[in-house]
Each structure stands twice: as C-alpha cells, then as structure tokens.
Structure 1
Amino acid sequence: MTSETVQERGKWESKTEFILSVAGAIIGLGNVWRFPYLCYKNGGGAFFIPYILFLVTCGIPLFILETSMGQYTSQGGIMCWRKICPLFEGFGYASQLILLYGCISYMVILAWAFLYLFSSLSGELPWATCNNTWNTDACVVLNSFNTTANWTSPLNMSSSVLEFWQRRVLNTSTGIDALGNIRWDLALCLLLVWIICYFCVWKGVKSTGKATYFTATFPFVMLVLLFLRGITLPGALHGIKYYLRPNPARLADPQVWMDAGTQIFYSYAICLGCLTTLGSYNKYNNNCYRDSLYLCLLNSGTSFISGFAIFSVLGYMSQKQGIDISTVSESGPGLVFIVYPQAVTLLPWPQVWSVCFFTMIILLGIDGQFAGLESIMTSLTDIYPSQMRKGYRRELLLVLLSAVCFVLGLFFVSEGGPYILQIFDHYVCSGPTLLLMAIFQSLIIGWIYGAERFCNNIEDMIGYKPLPLIKLCWLYVTPLICSGTLAFLILRYSPLRFNNSYVYPWWAYWIGRFLSSSSLVMIPVVMICKLARGKGTLWQRIKTSCQPADDLPVMTKEMADITSTPLDCKGGKNSNN
C-alpha cells in the first residue's frame, strides 16, 4: 500500500471491542460521584422510581436510536444525519462541538486525578498531615480529631485534606478575572492525559478497540475491590442504610424527578454523537438493539453498585469520627478529591487504597474522553474520506487537534481555572442543552424521517422490530417528557455561583451563554444553508432536504413499502428499490 492509497473505513474486529468501547464511553465519573449522592439525597430507594421511569422513556429509546442509526448508515455523528435527513445535518455539528468543549474541559479532572495518584505513591499521603509547605496554622488532621462539628471546618479549623485540595492542587485565585499562574505540575499531568488519549485513538478503531480491553475492564476490578473492602468495614451497614433507606415523601418534590432525568442524560452519553460513531463500526447485521439494552442495564447496575462501595466507606468514616454521615456525603469533585481521600486515611495501608481509587477514577474518565475524541475524528474523516484516509493525514490532524486542546486546557489549570471549568460544565454539557438536543433528535426521527421507517431499518438489520414502546417513545413520550423537564429547569433557573458564594461578573455569564448557543445555533444555520442552495419553491426545498440519501442500505420491498409522514418528507417508498 502506498502512502497515498485511500484506506478503508474499518470495522470492529470483534463484538467485544464494540461492547467495551460503548461501556467505557457511558460508564464514567457520573456513575461514581453523582448517582450515589443523588440516590441518598432524593429519597434513597424511592429515587429508583423516577430514575427507572426516565431510563425507560428517555434513556433506552435514545440509546437504541443513536446506536442503530450509526450501524444502519455506517457513518459518524455528522454524516449520519446527512444520510438520514440532510436538512438537520446541523444536529451533527452541534453534538460534535459539545464533545470538543467537553474534551477540553473534562481532561482537567483527569489531570487532578493523576496528581492525586502520583501523590499516593509517597511514603505518607501528603493530605494526611499538616507538616507541608501549603498548610496553614489552622490545619488539623481529622482522623485524630474527635469532633461533632462540621467535619470540613471544626472549630474554625481547616482539615489537612481540604487544604491539600484547595491550596496544593487548585490554589484558586480570587475570581475568574484573576487567572494567576499556571499550575505546572497539573499542566504536565494534563499533557500526560492527552498523550494517552492520542495513542488510544491514533489508529482509529484498531487502537481504540484494543485500548478498551484494559481501560473499560480494569475499573470494574477496582470497583469490586473497593466494594469488598467497604462492606467489611465497621459502620458499613450504617452507610448502606443511609444510601438506600426509602423515603417516599421525597417523591412529592419535583426536583427529585428533575435530578433523575438529568442523571440519565449525564451518564448515558446520549445526544453527543459518541454512540452513533461507535455503532457505525459494527457489521450491518449486528444485533445493536439487544446490545443497547444490555449496555443500559450495565450502566445503571454499575451506578447502583458504586453506591455500595462509596457509602460503605462513608459509613465507616462516620463511625470512626463520631459524626453524622450527612456531613461527609458530597457529590462531584468534593466526593472524589476531599471525602474519599479523607476516608482512605482512616484505613490500613492507605496508600494502596488511594492508588486503587484514583486508578479507577482515571480509567473511568479516560475511556470516555478518548471515545469522544474518536467521535470527532470519525466525523471529520467521514466528511472528507478521500483526503483524511490517505497516508498519515488522520494522525497529523489528531496531533494538531490534541495540541490545540491542550493549549486551551492550560487556562483550566491556572489559578483561575476552576472558575472557567464550572462555566463550561454548567453551560456546555448542562441539562438544558442536552434536553433540547434530545427533543430535536426524537422529533426528527419520529416525525420527519419516520418512526415506522426507522423500525423497519432496524428489522432489516437484526430480523425483528423493536418493542412498540420504543416507537411510541420516539413519537410522543420522549419529546414530551424532555420538554416538561426543560420547562421546569427554566422556571427554576438561578444564576451560577462558585462554591455557593462567588458571583461571576456579567461578562462571564455571557461567555457561558455563548458556549451554550454556539452549538445549538449550528442546527438553524445549516438548515438555512441547505435551503438556500436548493432549487424550487421553499416547500419543495424542504421536502427535498428531508429525503434520505440514495446510498443508504437497500431494504426488502416489504420493509420499504411504508406510509409517508404527515410532512410527506419520507418520499413514499424507499428510492433505493
């Protein structure tokens, strides 16, 4: 093969690679640091009622939709929409832009985890003492401090764990307008993360599929170890009861239902194009419908089991220090970088358990990130196949993309970086953005392309149609529930604050709104461009732009002979026949 030969798109070498890649993409930090906290906060076992409802009506239908669409079209997150319904190709651009923003920002969390991992290899955990240069006179080691006050600041003192996080790792400035210096140790950790992601993606599915054999399986080994160690600790049962104790009265609070819905979107990687990309490398007759159901069960099951691993340790921590468990249970970075590091200091061989925990956190996060990076590269390669699949052009573009993202990531590891990270987290990958994407996606497939037609496409691939409930969700249930959830979030809107105290300047909010709208605006912009380049009347251009591409897989006559949609955008029988 010469260097200028156009390479084939490629397929997964085995079904296992696809399963592990999708599992790595959807099972991440949200399963460990968000679900257990939401479960305990929102009624314990009663929280499973709204969670399962949103899973069945939104999570699973959209998961099946995206995976099946990728497999049917054999295209990534952008070109699949050009094949299915060209008028809404902008939906693909929007999802890939969100992924790009996510890659830039969430890599920083992995850099934090690497810094903790390297610190765990020392003779003594640096956050377990107050004899360090970053400690203040108010520092106290909580594992030897018997108090019933708030564990984070007893008697106006500061815990050694909190000071390590705030003063050693972040050293946060006074505000977003004071970026300060770059934390070069974090910058080197960030560089390491990008190098690892690059080599996991540089050969496409050939390298991505092989990498997931380790990155997607080893976190489960670590989770099982932490689970077994946690349930054997004194006080573990107390923590587990706190985690699961049902409180049905909490179901009367609408916020509980909103938390359940946003958790589904947060942890299932839907509306981002990742699932479409990974599904596009499947063989045409792979049973993507069954795979999707199993993967959804695996994701939710992992969230459930991780709650036992986390709250058993928190129960031990609560009993050891003589404080209520509600004072040590947190969500997000507070759990990973403050609460759990504090908990391991109370265990025998704390360095071992700290290494296990942060190794799990890194691997949970990193395979999700390189899946997103692979999705971006696949989308670009599918748009320009003859140019991007020659020689080393794909690898060179990946180097350039990784380098640019790393340079932009340096802003996030500055002293003002945490303020910027929260802006990205709140506005880019937030509930409203994903809910809007889910509404658009359901309406496009359900009403414009046609839910019946899409069910026939799936039947052509796997031999049978999905359950009628899935079709009903695409048509009615998913867009209605997502619209109601979006309306509630808008009504409950409150300005973003950092640590519940710092108020951002006005221009920071506008930056956030720009980040949020920059992705969504791609949808109408591409629609206008498509219609402007079309021929005929406006209605003729709309109808033509809604027609599926002629080079989609040819179905049997029985499956292609389906009725048109109310908008008459399906073109009657499949034009391929």
Structure 2
Amino acid sequence: MTDNAGSGTGAQVEETRRGGFSSRRVFILAAVGSAVGLGNIWRFPYVAYENGGGAFILPYLVALLTAGIPFLLLDYGLGHRFRGSAPLSFARARKRIEGLGWWQVLICFFIAVYYAAVLAWALRYTFFSVNKAWGDDPEAFFFEDFLHLGDPGVAMEFTPGVLVPLLVVWVALIVIMALGVQRGIGTIAMIFIPILVIAFLALVVQALMLPGAGGGLNALFTPDWGALLEPGVWAAAFGQIFFSLSIGFGIMITYASYVKRKTDMSGSAMVVGFSNSGFELLAGIGVFAALGFMAQASGVAVGEVASDGIGLAFVAFPAIISEAPAGAVLGVLFFGSLVIAGLTSLISVLEVVISGVRDKFEMSRTTATLAVVIPTALVSLVLFSTTSGLYVLDIVDHFINQFGILAVAVISMLVLAWGVRLLPELARHLNHRGSIPLGRLWKVLVGVVAPVALLYVLIRQLITDISAPYEDYPAWMLATFGWGVVVGVVILAALASLAPWKSQTRLDLTEEEVR
C-alpha cells in the first residue's frame, strides 16, 4: 500500500485514467441495459407460468424487495465507495478478500465466451425473419441446417453460418469496448435502450392483436394460489430476481465505480430494479400473447407450446412468425430485441474483465481491451462455431450460473456482512447522498435473508445435479465444461489475488476521496 499524501490529486488522476459515466442518467441506462438481457425475454415468462402464473407475482415482488434491490445496493455501495473494479473494490475493502473479485471476473469471462454465440444466432435470425428462411420445420432448420448439430462431444467441424456472425459480434465488441466507458458503453446505452423499449412495445402490441392472444395471457396470469405453499416456487422467484438483475458477479460493482461521487445511488437502485422487473412483465405479455396464437393455430393447449430459453427463441418463435400476419415484422422486432438486449448485457460482462485487468496491471484502455477481448473471442469462436457448440454452451451456462454466480454471491454477502463487517460503512456511504435511507432492515436483508434464500436455491440445484447427470450429457463433458469450469474459476481466482498490484495502484482511500 502506498502513502496517501496528495491523495486528492491522486484520486482525480485515477478517475481520469479509468473513465466514467457523464451523468446519472447514462449510468442508469447502462445498468438497465446490463440487467435487461436474454433471460428477461425467454426465461421469466416460462418461470412465471410454471410457478403459479399470476400468483407468482407475489413471491417475485417479495424477492425483488427483500433480496434483489438490497443486493443491488450492496454492489453499488462497494463499487461507489471503493472506486474500483470488482477485484480492486474488494482489495480496498480488505486486502484478504480480493479473491472474491477475481472469482467474479472469471465468471464474467466464461459468460462472455458463450453469450456472444447466442447473440450471433439472434443476429442471423433477425435476417432470417425477413423471408422466413427456416421453412416449414423451424426445429430441424435450427439444429440441423443452421447449427449442424452432431452427437454430444467436441467436434472441430466449423459451421460457417455461425462463424461469420460470431466474428462480426466480436469485432463490434472490440470497437465498443476500446472506446471506453462513456464514448463506448454509455453511448450504446443511450442509443439502444430507448430503441429496445420502443421495439419491444411494438412487438407486444402486434402480439396482442394476434388471434388467440387472450388465451395465452389467461394461461400466464391465471393465479394458482396453492403454488404459494410450495418452497420451490419461492426458490424460483429468488433465483429469477437474482439472475435478472445482474447482481453478485461484479457488473454493478464495476458500473458503480464509474459514477460521480455525489450521485444518489440508492434512488438509482430503485429505478434500475423496477425498470428491469417492468421489462420482464412486458416480455411475459408479449411472449404469451404470441404463444396463445400458436396454440390456437395448432389446436392445442398453451402449455403444449410453452417453452423457455433456446427452444422458445429459435424454434417456437420462428413457428409463430411463419403463421402470424405480418410475421416478418414480428420476427425482426423479436430477434432485433434479442440482439440489443444481449449486446448491452454482454458489454457489461466484458467490462468486468477489462476493468479488473486494467486496475491490476495499470494498462491503457485500448491495451486492456485487446488483451481481454481477443483471447475471449478466440475461445468463443473455437468452441461455439462448431457442430458441438450448443452442447458445450448449455453445460457451461448451467454450471457457471448455478454453482459459480450463486456460490460467489452467497459467500460475498456473508463475508461482507459477517467476516469483515462492512455493511455499516457501506450504509453510511450510500446514505450520505442517497434519497432512500438504509438502516438495520437493509443489513438484515443483506446479511441474513438474501444469503439464506440464495443458499436454499443453491442447495436444491446441487442435489438435483448430483442425483442425476445434467441433461444426461456424457460424464466427461460434465466434468470438463461443468464442474471443471466451476472449480477452475475458484483456483484461478485465488492465484490472481496473489499477483502484486502495481506500485502506483493505491489500495488506501481517504474518506474525503470517496465523498
């Protein structure tokens, strides 16, 4: 650690070097862009449908208020108070917990590797929608003609239809990330988040006008109050809130570090939290209105056509687009929305890695961007533009989300609350400029309620995956791309925390510097 003499000037130089958002509005748009991703569109509607329909809104709101927003405030407090990337913020809080920040950085690296592939698929399908290139069998087209999916395994046969759009995605990301926090991330958020809202509103309006839309909405919102007595429904609500808000794996810590010192962070958290949930509700309406049309056209119940994830986006929706009036417009709006939502989320994930590397090794913005994005892109291109890419993606996504993000979130909350007892300091910092006072209730929610709820979700999933192989994939694939990735992240995080900081990186900040 270096001496703090002349710290005011040092702090100004550091902020100039790292960059920052020009205003609170830009920060909120960027944070909303990170939170609103593919999961809002293709995961929330199905989770709600499967867990009580309209009744699910109650546990969902409880989870938002008791875990989601409190955890979001924890991330904001840590990043804004200690003015650094996830590793630097944890190191400045207490040097011995720096490894938690690198755990989050490595999780973001693996997410970026596969998330870009889904973004590339959505980009290609935006153009496919114009002439409905998938023909009469969208399922066969996606798995066979587009992905050329083979048997589970690692096949090094490249698929040009995936390789080209994936390469386009990574080139665009290099340019955006090299431009910096305001010119790159901030500008993209200011332009694309309003476009996303307008496009998705247009999609919802068109979906609501389809025949059978009412049946889909009835299926989604008809409450099953008995579901509220099932622990699994509450676990699903907490899991959905946690994954949809981009909390617990460094994104909001990093973004908060780019915000001006006098910003109202607690008020910003409420805006971001409720904006994200509002978009999820809007996505539910649009998706199930379209599924209602599909069910009526097929003469089946909505439950028979309802799905989530990749099946919803690249099989069910193309089938809907093929049958719907003005289907090409519906398709461009849907897949275009996926591209924008995926892009803003992927940018935030990459920024966690770039920011961590910049802070640790004192690199310039351009150097850090190239050092991070080029290797990430190469891994992504090698793994996910091949005939086995979908299998690897599914395994990595499942394990890194369930046992990477959830685990580090629970551990970081418990460490910050009980290990280093940092919550009172963060509460004072957030209250200094915040419009919503944080007191004992917030500390209880962050230190007890949220970690207990997420620990329950984690244990349930752990029991499930130990009792039976995930999706019956070969044991070697689960060991390599599943458990191996999870354990590897923890080991690499510990090793990264042992590397010394550059002498000019100041791990001590005065109270005056953070105010």
Cα drift, residue 485 of structure 1: 2.6
Name the stretch that deviates more: 252-261 or 287-296.
252-261
Cα drift, residue 112 of structure 1: 0.8
Cα drift, residue 487 of structure 1: 2.5
Alignment of 1:194-205 (within 5 A): 194-205=170-181
2:108 aligned with 1:99, yes or no? Answer: yes
Q: Distance in 1 between matches of 2:359 and 2:89?
A: 9
- What do the CA deviations read for 1:188-230 (whole angstroms, capped 9, x no partner)? 1001111222222112112211111122221111110011111
Name the stretch that deviates more: 56-65 or 33-42.
56-65
Q: Distance in 1 between matches of 2:439 and 2:202?
A: 38
Q: Distance in 1 between matches of 2:33 and 2:496?
A: 32
Aligned partner of 1:340 in structure 2 is: 317
2:408 aligned with 1:408, yes or no? Answer: no
Aligned partner of 1:182 in structure 2 is: 158
Q: Distance in 2 between matches of 1:454 and 1:428?
A: 28
Alignment of 1:385-404 (within 5 A): 385=362, 388-389=363-364, 394-404=365-375
- What do the CA deviations read for 1:510-556 (whole angstroms, capped 9, x no partner)? 442120112234566578x59xx9xxxxxxxxxxxxxx954243399
Cα drift, residue 262 of structure 1: 1.7
Q: Distance in 2 between matches of 1:42 and 1:190?
A: 35
**Runs of 4+ displaced beyond 4 Å:** 522-527
Q: Distance in 1 between matches of 2:189 and 2:349?
A: 13
Q: Distance in 2 between matches of 1:24 and 1:76?
A: 19
Q: TM-score, normalised by structure 2?
A: 0.90
- What do the CA deviations read for 1:321-369 (whole angstroms, capped 9, x no partner)? 2121111110101111011111111122322221111111100101100
Q: Distance in 2 between matches of 1:192 and 1:28?
A: 19
2:235 aligned with 1:258, yes or no? Answer: yes
8 A Cα contact 1:11 1:282, kept in partner: yes
Structural RMSD (CA):
2.3
8 A Cα contact 1:73 1:553, kept in partner: no
Cα drift, residue 54 of structure 1: 2.1
- The runs of 5 or more residues in structure 1 that have no matched partner are 129-140, 142-159, 534-547, 560-577
Name the stretch that deviates more: 87-96 or 421-430.
421-430
Q: Distance in 2 between matches of 1:403 and 1:241?
A: 47
Q: Distance in 1 between matches of 2:476 and 2:354?
A: 35
Aligned partner of 1:149 in structure 2 is: none
8 A Cα contact 2:142 2:315, kept in partner: yes
- What do the CA deviations read for 1:7-62 (whole angstroms, capped 9, x no partner)? 63222112221011101101011111000001111110111222222222221111
Match of 2:209 among 232, 237, 245: 232
Match of 1:43 among 52, 68, 81: 52
8 A Cα contact 1:180 1:415, kept in partner: yes
- The runs of 5 or more residues in structure 2 that have no matched partner are 1-12, 501-505
Rate the CA distance shift 1:86–1:449 in 2: closer, same or farther, 3 A.
farther
Rate the CA distance shift 1:224–1:483 in 2: closer, same or farther, 3 A.
same
2:358 aligned with 1:381, yes or no? Answer: yes
2:509 aligned with 1:551, yes or no? Answer: yes
8 A Cα contact 2:199 2:333, kept in partner: yes
Alignment of 1:391-540 (within 5 A): 394-410=365-381, 411-430=383-402, 432-447=403-418, 448-462=420-434, 465-493=437-465, 494-498=467-471, 502-506=472-476, 508-521=478-491
Match of 1:125 among 122, 125, 132: 132
1:112 counterpart letter in structure 2: W
8 A Cα contact 1:84 1:449, kept in partner: no
Alignment of 1:41-190 (within 5 A): 41-121=50-130, 124-128=131-135, 141=136, 160-177=137-154, 179-190=155-166
8 A Cα contact 2:88 2:507, kept in partner: no
Cα drift, residue 463 of structure 1: 7.3
Q: Distance in 2 between matches of 1:428 and 1:490?
A: 12
Rate the CA distance shift 1:288–1:117 in 2: closer, same or farther, 3 A.
same
Rate the CA distance shift 1:426–1:329 in 2: closer, same or farther, 3 A.
same
Q: Distance in 2 between matches of 1:186 and 1:524?
A: 35
8 A Cα contact 2:63 2:238, kept in partner: yes
Q: Distance in 2 between matches of 1:510 and 1:407?
A: 19
8 A Cα contact 1:25 1:368, kept in partner: yes
Q: Distance in 1 between matches of 2:492 and 2:59?
A: 32
Rate the CA distance shift 1:463–1:213 in 2: closer, same or farther, 3 A.
closer
Indicate the structure whose relative CO is greater, using CA pairs within 8 Å and at least 6 residues apart: 2
Aligned partner of 1:153 in structure 2 is: none
Count of aligned pairs between the two proteins: 493
Q: Distance in 1 between matches of 2:24 and 2:43?
A: 30
Q: Distance in 2 between matches of 1:479 and 1:526?
A: 26
Cα drift, residue 295 of structure 1: 0.6
Q: TM-score, normalised by structure 1?
A: 0.81
Rate the CA distance shift 1:497–1:463 in 2: closer, same or farther, 3 A.
closer
Cα drift, residue 75 of structure 1: 0.8
Cα drift, residue 395 of structure 1: 1.4
Aligned partner of 1:542 in structure 2 is: none
8 A Cα contact 1:120 1:354, kept in partner: yes
SS of equivalent to 1:216 = helix
Cα drift, residue 71 of structure 1: 1.3
2:272 aligned with 1:295, yes or no? Answer: yes
Q: Distance in 2 between matches of 1:450 and 1:244?
A: 41
SS of equivalent to 2:421 = helix
Cα drift, residue 507 of structure 1: 5.2
8 A Cα contact 2:40 2:279, kept in partner: yes
8 A Cα contact 1:72 1:553, kept in partner: no
Task: Give 1 or 2 for the bigger CA radius of gyration.
Answer: 1
8 A Cα contact 1:45 1:246, kept in partner: yes
Aligned partner of 1:24 in structure 2 is: 33
Q: Distance in 2 between matches of 1:354 and 1:222?
A: 11
8 A Cα contact 1:497 1:504, kept in partner: no
